[in-house]
Structure 1
């Protein structure tokens, strides 16, 4: 009986993690498309977001990991400005979205 309850709780926890991951991905996608100024999609190509920007690198080709995306968003890189108005949670959601959408290592 106890093992059945434990299995049920583990299953529920896994389902909640998947729901949270899906929510994070949607939040990250929304930030990429229009949650920052300028929006990432203006400058970058990312197939998952339907963007075809040509100012910054093509993220589908670059496949940056989440750490690299977060660093670029926080500090800027090249002509890309630092996005200081984004919260740490926003930066993490955006970084996780981009790295996941490109198939990069997490």
Structure 2
């Protein structure tokens, strides 16, 4: 009997760990969650990360390969199109990122750069 009493606690611990490790679930569309996922895509999830090439002060990036996004101030639609299809030397991420991740990083860049409020 003791074995069965411990099992639910382990499941709860695993579920709690998973909830903390995932910054935004597919159904979480609050502005804060979209910003958090967008920043995660910008700084870590995209391969290579956007921050390797683009300067964006809010992300702590001062890269100089691609346009400085703080100066360019692209709107979300422009960012999403560039991320999805690529532009210039920037590779396309349309097949390596989900649509949710593309929309989140577009939202993040537009807000963080001051293009949108």
TM-score (norm 1): 0.80
Q: 1:59-96: CA deviations, max 9, x gaps?
A: 00000000000000000000000002101100000000
Structure 2 gap ranges (5+): 1-28
For residue 105 of structure 1, report the CA deviation from its aligned partner: 3.1
How many residues end up aligned between the 2 structures? Answer: 88
Runs of 4+ with deviation above 4 angstroms: none
Which blocks of at least 5 consecutive residues in structure 1 are unaligned?
Answer: 1-18
Higher helix share: 1
Corresponding residue number in structure 1 for 2:66 = 56
Superposition pairs of residues 64-79 of structure 1, within 5 angstroms: 64-79=74-89
Residue 32 (structure 1) aligned to one of 28, 42, 45: 42
Rg larger in structure: 2
Whether 2:106 is the aligned partner of 1:95: answer yes
RMSD between aligned residues:
1.2
Is 1:86 paired with 2:97?
Answer: yes
Measure, in 2, the Cα distance between the counterparts of 1:90 and 1:105: 18
Q: 1:21 aligns with which of 26, 31, 39?
A: 31
